[in-house]
Amino acid sequence: MHRGRKWWTVVLGTSAGVVAAGAGTVWLSSGDGAEKRVVDTSASVRISAADSNEAARYWTAKRMAAAKPVGRAEAPGGAARTQAAAQAVPRSTAFHGIPTLGALFFNNGSGDHYCTASVVHSYSKKLLITAAHCIHGGRGAGYVSKVAFVPKYEKGKRPYGTWTAKMLLVDQRWASKSDPDLDFGFIGLNPLKGKTIEAAVGYNMLGVNQGVGKYVNVTGYPRIAYDKRDQPIYCRAKTARQSKYQVRMDCSGFYGGTSGSPWLLKYNGKTHTGYINGVIGGYQGGGNTHWRSFSPYFDNDVNVLRSAADKRA
């Protein structure tokens, strides 16, 4: 559990545009069938049907193509030392994407932007996971607006349609302090044509307390603004400990826009699914070079937050 705490303070979401504190708990499954009630730390915001409909209309193909990436090194280049380091690590590969992965579009008050998000399994069957900094600005800031998710986005194509958000949720310690160890968040999606996102594209399981030194497939969207191929990338790399609550992996090509990219443990090449064991974010906002990426370590805090998101989705 994060920082060794056994229980948590409570912040619960309320109506659209408002985040308020209040008492509440969520049930947390241990994985062996047992459950316990824990106090959650979530801060959430609900999005009205009118705002969701406006987001669906807002995101035209032209606006998606013009959206700017969030975080990371936003363009190739840099010092010779950085280039030498990039050449010494594995290189990412462009591919056609997978249904459970998509581009996440939003407006953060300074313009239209995008990150990466993926479908994570939940009882509600409606949840995405991404970096907290993609959906909430952290200390002194608030939530983004006009949120839309496009699974398997490639070259402007939307094979599974455009999905709008009903709820955004981060940990209150991210919202109030920009704690990099809690730079992960969840999005509850509205149904589309009568289906949940899981029914439409499938899902990945959540991996918690899996340690480090393991191979993960990391996939994300750095290519919308900078590369005419306009495709996602993937890389298979080994994780390593950066600090007590931060993990890293080395692979080149993860420029801006890859914030929120899932780290898929035990990836199955036939089903194109795995266990989400991290997301690009955390230390240095996920990394200040394209060849080294970071993620908060996924311990029980992420499980508690997913349970709180499921409750509100």
Residue 299 pLDDT greater than 80, yes or no: yes
- Residue 101: what pLDDT? 98
Helix extents (H) in the chain: 49-58, 61-66, 80-87, 132-135, 172-177, 197-201, 300-312
Burial of 194 (0-12, 13-18, 19+ CB in 10 A): exposed
Quick one: residue 298, left, alpha or beta (phi over 0 = left, psi -120 to 50 = alpha)?
A: beta
Which residue ranges form the domains of the chain, and what is each CATH number?
2-46 (no CATH), 49-312 (2.40.10.10)
Give 187-218 pLDDT, tens digit per residue. 999 999 999 999 999 999 999 999 999 999 99
pTM of the model: 0.88
Give 221-246 pLDDT, tens digit per residue. 997 755 556 789 999 999 999 999 99
Give 273-294 pLDDT, tens digit per residue. 999 999 999 999 999 999 999 9
Residue 162 pLDDT greater than 80, yes or no: yes
